[in-house]
Structure 1
Amino acid sequence: MLIIRNCMSIINRQRTGVALFANGNAQNRSQSSTNAEVKEQRVTRDDVEWQNARSFDSIPAASGLSLIYNMAFPGGKYKNMDLTQLVLGMRNDYGEFFRMPKIFGSDAMVITYNPKDFEAVYRHEGIWPHRPGSDTLRYHRESYRKDFYKGVEGLIPSQGKSWGEFRSIVNPVLMQPKNVRLYYKKMSQVNCEFVERIKTIRDATNQEVPHNFIEDINRWTLESVSVVALDKQLGLLKESDKSDNVMLLFKSLDEFFTYAGDLEVKPSLWRYVQTPMKKKLMNAYDNIQKVTLEFVNEALVRLEAEENKGIVRAENEKSVLEKLLKIDKKVATIMAMDMLMAGVDTTSSTFAAAMLCIATNPVKQDKLREEVMRVLPNKDSEFTEDSMKNVPYLRACIKESQRMYPLVIGHARTTNRDCVLSGHKVPAGTFVSMMPLSMLSNDEYFPKASEFLPERWLRSDASTSKCPANPLKTTNPFVFLPFGFGPRMCVGKRIVDMELELGIARIIRNFKVEFNHSRENAFRSVLINKPNIPLRFKFTDLDH
């Protein structure tokens, strides 16, 4: 009863003097400043579409009290749902377009399942798009550990001008294809080690890898991102022992995605009091900071020693850290740390999804192998920039697996200007959550949506510059945006693409891959979708 009385007290305080877009809480100051910026540049609309649109207040609204009960209390309809189930359940209950009130300091929001709305929001997001979310990480860096970050919070939680300045520094290094391709050779070496590790850990009788194969996938992804970020192999695929630091990082990353998903999406008092889950999450953030900073500091010491010896390395030998050090040491350090933080579970989950699809569709796997063997005539052949330009089926397989097993449940933006969404006026400064999840498996948007069909992503005639009509392709491009859209799309997209393409190609060239177990509930939905079943793939050596 005490908990309920405390909740009611806070709800009542919110009801008095708090407008829909107001933010009195100190931890929401980023949202407040963004709304102020939007207000300054706001242009009043008076066009026909705006005049004919229904009012904002006429948007169907969910009850705050009902949501708190259903999400947070025993017996509540949504209490034991993961985030995917929650999103789909609320769509069934409230429809395709509705708004949610401010709850316990979280932002009020409009939720839409309409892809036409997605386009309207993205087309007018401005040069510094405001992406809601990451509130707990922002709190950790702006308040909890502000003495370390000192105003440089990195790309994930920052907004507005500070985000724009940080992004403008790292974009040339991370987003230009020519810079990413410099890491082919180093990434290829990691992939060869991954193949050898698979051979070592699989069962000699049935050729299946252990039930905890996700740990080995995490080792591969961390090793891969390390050679790009730090120009250092950590030896994770060669050593059988489990480094305390590495295992702490893996554990803390899992806690981050689990606890942050709960605190930021479901009703929680964490903005007001030190809840047990908030304490665990801050500890996880501290551990991630500790381990990633140790890796970065080791690289900094090595680079300083090389400089003192007069060692000058070629551009294709330099890490992201070394390149950014020339511009800003703090930005270089935080970016390298964030690459290690954000580049493990996300890539591991995407890789697992692709392998599940390829392993359970042998005809598609055979077709993929034919393409891969043109790139890698021998099992130990090296990748080249020219050969990797012509792997459309490999890229199509990865895209199709991202459709079937999406990494995230949706995307969010704060509107930069007045918009008309689903026939309603939505003012500038509104938090809009865009949920394409149900459309990814809907025949209306993806013909034969239940089937793994990489062909839907191919051109009918690859020799032409135009893309002929493909009857399998999506009817709306804004339904499928696995890396986001616009200026705020994932800064690591090109690195992840390279990591997945080279890794999957190397495995398919060496093994026939099978998965002979149930795929029911293959992923659990936290802040991202993570593997939820033992990934006991069967890897059978190819004869040639």
Structure 2
Amino acid sequence: MRRSTYFHSNGVLQWAHRNSRKFSHAGPKSFSEQETSFATKPQVAVKEFHEIPGPKALPFVGTLWRYLPLLGEYKMDRLHHNGFRKLRLFGPLVREELLPGINVVWVFTPEDIEQVFRAEGRYPERRSHLALAKCRRDRPHVYNTGGLLPTNGPEWLRLRSAFQRDLSRPNCVKTYLPAIDEVIQEFLNKITPGHNGNDFLPELSKLFLELICLVAFDVRLDSFNQNSELSSRLIDAALSINSSILRTDNGLQLWKWFDTPLYRKLKRSHLVLEQVAVELVTKKIEILKLQNLNKTSHQPSLLELYLSSQHLDQKDVIGMSVDMILAGIDTTTNTSSFTLYHLATNINIQEKLYEECLKLLPDCKSPITAEVLSKAQYTKAVLKESFRLNPISVGVGRILSQDAILSGYKVPHGTVVVTQNQVTCRLPEYFSEPDKFIPERWIKGHQMYKSTSPYLVLPFGHGPRTCIARRLAEQNMQALLLKARHSFREREKETDRDKEIIQHTQGCIDVAETREIDGTSQRHSKEYSVSRVRPVTQHKPKTFASGTNNKQKTVEASVSLIHLELGGKWKT
């Protein structure tokens, strides 16, 4: 099964795209090469909802048949291609009746996108992770709610307010930098020339799992140890759940009445994450009790703040911990891999990034600090340009809480609308040379800089329901880029391989990863222990290994990522 992950971590219809060749060129021609111009025109009168143009729906099946393999013109794993096709055929606002009575409106212009967010109300609502919500509601002894991902209304606001109080605070996130720096340095030390052939994506998944668990559980998983089966299980479980979301959210949804094979797969994978979260959170509670008895004082971690909050209980914290693993691995992994790809195929940009590294880090093992990141202007521009070309998601999904006027059409409250930022960000109306990777376009004072709408590049969503861990994710990726570029360049000097160039046979990255989950191991809900977990402090993380012997799932990956053998040059 091709790995294309449907994902809603920030209120978005999110697809972590794995095929960069098709991702980098949205269709037979680039966006800028095709006729896509749509200027905002004066609107004489507001038109009715049913007048919005879009693909024709058939009785009983709507337009869902258009997404069927071989039969339809749309593909579930190429939402950006679908969006561009609809834009060319129907214009900047498209209505699609996926199933009888179930409409989705696709929104392309930044002016309409702004109106979508203005109409989201106090409780921004979305329709996502429905099967996950049922799975958790069926286990009230573990969860109070479906969690931040699928929950709407006042209960969502309760959870969001309690968790974001500290997670969204810059100073709180910065306290993790010493531990983050240590993990990234350990990761880079493990990478050797020829490491894992030309497949680097699984290693990035391990890195970001390790960083997530630092925050979620105050522990190190020892993910860089090849014998760490716990890390592999967690990564595979998160992938399995995310890949099930699209098919369970749409279609007939028979899982509401009985356990379909796909729903059973989701439940088994969710149980893997749940078991780890329950055990580690429980262990943390025991440690806190001992600290209270001994009257030990220290700077509390996020997990400790959550466990001591009057607005949260243990069930809420467990749900949030599971959500952090579920929402955090693929998003940061894919964004980092695409950014590395763009750097590998743009030598001059690599060199500019390295120049910034030299100014901020005396040597490759110098620690990343808050001051360093505050001055990393070019690093941030590189990351933002990667978000523009290869965002975490195709756009942002919302259910309108009030009527809205979009492109001259009345869209009633309760309608599902999905912005198409990924498509719009490739249009020459908004960006010069839109298919080129140009970080300078984001640096104020540079000749390439141009003020753009704040509603164009929205990798983490927007408004009250923006990704709750945005600051942490950006901090992790910025630190990785700085440390990695500096480290690889220093290795070039040490090995005197400055004239060697890694052969890049494909010309483009192929990020089509396949992960086959072993059926036998999934059918048995094996208990596994994390008893060897050792708690860590934020500033001196220690390492532990899991003591599991479960059969490892087969992982097949075809990621021709940079052909970077990681001890040689980045240049292609």
Shorter-chain TM band: 0.7 to 0.9
Query: What aligned pairs does 1:196-215 form with structure 2 within 5 A after superposition?
Result: 196-199=189-192, 202-203=193-194, 209-215=196-202
From 498, 501, 506, the equivalent of 1:518 is: 506
The change in CA–CA distance for 1:145 and 1:519 in structure 2 (over 3 A counts) is farther
Residue 384 of structure 2: aligned partner: 399
Q: Kindly provide the CA deviation profile for residues 397-421 of structure 1, in whole angstroms up to 9, marking residues without a partner as x.
A: 0111111211111111111222101
Indicate the SS of the match to 1:148: coil
- Structure 2 distance, partners of 1:173, 1:309, is 26
For residue 538 of structure 2, what is the aligned residue in structure 1?
none
Do structure 1's residue 75 and structure 2's residue 102 form an aligned pair?
A: no
Structure 2 equivalent of residue 457 of structure 1: 442
Higher helix share: 1
The alpha carbon displacement at 1:437 in A equals: 2.1
SS at match of 1:425: strand
Q: Is the 8 A contact 1:413 1:432 kept in 2?
A: yes
Query: Does residue 499 of structure 1 match 2:476?
Result: yes
Of 564, 567, 572, 1:537 maps to 564
CA-CA distance at 1:51 after TM superposition: 9.3
1:187: which partner in 2? 180
Higher relative contact order (CA 8 A, sep 6+): 2
1:429-450 deviation digits (Å, cap 9, x = unpaired): 2221111222222222211112
The residue type equivalent to 2:332 in the other structure is T
In the alignment, which residue of structure 2 is the partner of 1:235?
A: 222
Aligned partner of 1:63: which letter?
A
Secondary structure of the corresponding residue to residue 101 of structure 1: strand
**Residue 422 (str. 1) matches residue 399 (str. 2):** no
Q: Provide, for residues 446-479 of structure 1, a one-character-per-residue CA deviation record: whole Å limited to 9, x for no partner.
A: 1111211000110107xxxxxxxx6554643312
1:482 matched to 2:459? The reply is yes
In structure 1, give the amino acid aligned to 2:313. K
CA drift at 1:539: 2.0
CA-CA distance at 1:393 after TM superposition = 0.3
Q: Percent identity?
A: 26
- TM-score, length-scaled by structure 1: 0.79
| 1:503 Cα offset (Å) | 1.3
Distance 2:559 2:63 in 1: 30
* 1:21-170 mapped onto 2 (5 Å cutoff): 52-61=45-54, 62-64=56-58, 65=61, 67-72=63-68, 75-78=71-74, 82-92=78-88, 94-101=90-97, 103=99, 107-142=102-137, 144-150=138-144, 152-170=145-163
The number of aligned residues is: 469
AA aligned opposite 1:540: G
Q: Is the 8 A contact 1:356 1:515 kept in 2?
A: no
2:134 is paired with a residue of what secondary structure? helix
Q: Structure 1 residues 76 and 426 mapped into 2: Cα distance closer, same or farther (>3 Å)?
A: closer
Aligned 8 A contact 2:354 2:486 in 1: yes
Aligned residue in 1 for 2:540: none
The answer to whether the aligner puts 1:219 opposite 2:206 as a matched pair is yes
SS in 1 for 2:410: strand
Do residues 329 (structure 1) and 313 (structure 2) align?
yes
1:73–1:177 Cα change, 3 Å: closer
- Give the structure 1 partner of residue 7 of structure 2: none
What SS does the aligned partner of 2:440 have? helix
Distance 1:271 1:409, change over 3 A: farther
Aligned mates of 1:210, 1:347 — CA distance in 2: 22
The residue aligned with 1:11 is: none
Alpha-carbon separation, structure 2, partners of 1:515 and 1:354: 19
Q: Distance in 2 between matches of 1:89 and 1:366?
A: 37
Instruction: In structure 1, list runs of 5 or more residues that go unmatched.
Output: 1-48, 462-469
1:356 aligns to what? 341
Cα deviation, residue 172, structure 1: 1.8
- Cα distance in 1, alignment partners of residues 83 and 237 from structure 2: 26
Structure 1 counterpart of 2:541 = none
SS across alignment from 2:94: strand
For the residues of structure 2 that align with 1:60 and 1:408, how far apart are their CA atoms?
24
Partner of 1:261, secondary structure, is helix
Query: Deviations 1:339-376 (Å, cap 9, x if unpaired)?
Result: 22222111111111111111221111111111112221
Q: What's the secondary structure of 1:343's corresponding residue?
A: helix
TM-score normalised over the length of structure 2: 0.75
Task: Say which of 362, 369, 372 aligns to 1:384.
Answer: 369
Please state whether the residue corresponding to 1:108 is helix, strand or coil. Answer: strand
With over 3 angstroms needed to count, the CA separation of the structure-2 counterparts of 1:219 and 1:516, relative to structure 1, is same
Task: Provide Cα deviations, 1:169-207, integer angstroms capped at 9, x if missing partner.
Answer: 1112111111111111111110110111113xx32xxxx
> What's the counterpart of residue 19 of structure 2?
none
CA gap 1:375/1:193 in 2 versus in 1, 3 angstroms: same
1:260 to 245, 252, 258: 245
Distance across 1 between alignment mates of 2:506 and 2:96: 37
Deviations for 1:471-492, whole angstroms, at most 9, x for unmatched residues? 5546433121111111111000
Give the AA of the match of 1:533.
V
1:521 touches 1:532 (CA, 8 Å); kept in 2? no
Structure 2 counterpart SS, 1:296: helix
> Contact conserved, 2:107 with 2:417, CA < 8 A, in 1?
yes
Tell me how far 1:93 sits from its aligned partner. Answer: 5.0
- Once the two structures are superposed, what CA deviation does each residue of 1:17-41 show, in whole Å capped at 9, x if it has no partner? xxxxxxxxxxxxxxxxxxxxxxxxx
CA-based RMSD: 2.9
Taking structure 1 as reference, are residues 78 and 99 closer, same or farther at Cα in structure 2, changes over 3 Å only? same
- Once residues 539 and 373 of structure 1 are traced to their aligned partners in structure 2, the CA distance between those partners, rounded to angstroms, is 19
What residue is the counterpart of 1:298 in the other structure? 283
* In structure 2, distance between residues paired with 1:321 and 1:510: 32
Q: How does 1:12-27 map to 2 (within 5 A)?
A: none
Single out whichever of 156-165 and 383-392 deviates more from structure 2. Answer: 383-392
- CA distance in 2: counterparts of 1:474 and 1:272, whole angstroms: 51
